[in-house]
Structure 1
Amino acid sequence: MGLFKKKAKTYSYDKERMKPVIKTSICTGEQVAGFKDIHTGKIEDIMLVKTAADIERFKKIYGIEGSIDKEY
């Protein structure tokens, strides 16, 4: 019987240099949430996305509002 909930940890990212993206495979449909460097175009993978709830969790952890662009 737990009386206290564990607080959800929030992380931050450099909003001037990085933008959140969902990288999607054309062949398999696998999706990965991460951040794309605006200057170099390199994508840093953060977490595997299996359901829409995973995307919402990613947005909540990093404080992202609105929609996230998909990259193929």
Structure 2
Amino acid sequence: MFFKKKLEKKTYDKLRKKPVIMVSICTGEQVAGFKDLSTGAFEEVMLIKSLKDLALFREMYGIAGEIEKIY
């Protein structure tokens, strides 16, 4: 109740998936997730409402550098 919840570190298969942000053309809504490199399927992880959410996504999965946006 009084303490901040510890961030749970998660992993993903870096050889088969890459982190991307899917952006809606109509509404501008952004969803962070992973794109399967072989099938092109997108796996949603979390909704990005602000830069704080994006920073949380990067920290959870240990992602450094730019994340590609797909439309």
Aligned residues: 71
Task: Using the aligned pairs only, state the percent identity.
Answer: 58
Number of the residue aligned with 1:20: 19
Give me the TM-score of the superposition, normalised by structure 1. Answer: 0.91
Q: Which amino acid aligns with 1:61?
A: M
- Which is higher, the Rg of structure 1 or of structure 2? 1
Output the aligned Cα RMSD: 1.5
Q: Please, which runs of 5 or more residues in structure 2 have no aligned partner? A: none
Secondary structure at the residue paired with 1:60? helix
> Which of structure 1's runs of 4+ aligned residues deviate more than 4 A?
none
Evaluate the alpha carbon distance shift between residue 65 and residue 27 of structure 1 in structure 2; reply closer, same or farther with a 3 A threshold: same
State the SS of the aligned residue for 1:28: coil
Change in CA separation of 1:70 and 1:7 when aligned onto 2, cut-off 3 Å: same
> Which secondary structure does the structure 1 equivalent of 2:57 belong to?
helix
- Cα offset for 1:8? 1.4
| TM-score normalised by structure 2 residue count | 0.92
- The aligned residue for residue 57 of structure 2 is 58
Shift of 1:5: 5.2
Q: Which amino acid aligns with 1:40?
A: T
